[in-house]
Amino acid sequence: MNLPCSAVYPNPTNSDLVFLETGDDTDLSDYSLFLVDTNGKYIPIQYSIASKRLAVDMTGVVNGVYVIMIKDEAGKVVFSQKLIRM
């Protein structure tokens, strides 16, 4: 199953908050969000879930290119997108 995310914004970003919007009523509490740098290192981040939206706290994340990933309970990647922090 792929998680239907309709938007990741702002991207590129210099903001401390990035949002992921889903296009349906998927219960996002069943998923985990990860930020991975270009070397494959997982970057610790905090995020919160509200309705059809994930709010990702980018405070302390250095400028660079990342992949933002969402995994299901089995650890399968169901969404990924490049994210640029400026």
Domain positions in the chain: 5-85
Angstrom CA distances, 65 to 22, 35, 48, 74, 80, stand at 22, 10, 22, 26, 13
- At 39 the pLDDT is 97
Residue labelled with tokens 């399968």: 76
- At 61 the pLDDT is 97
CA-based angle 49:52:58, to the nearest 5?
45
Q: What is the CATH number of domain 5-85?
A: 2.60.40.1220
For each of the chain's 86 residues, which pLDDT tens digit applies?
567 677 899 999 999 999 998 877 777 888 899 999 999 999 999 999 887 789 999 999 999 999 999 998 999 998 899 999 99
- At 85 the pLDDT is 97
- At 4 the pLDDT is 67
Identify whether the C-beta of residue 18 lies closer than 8 Å to the C-beta of residue 10: yes
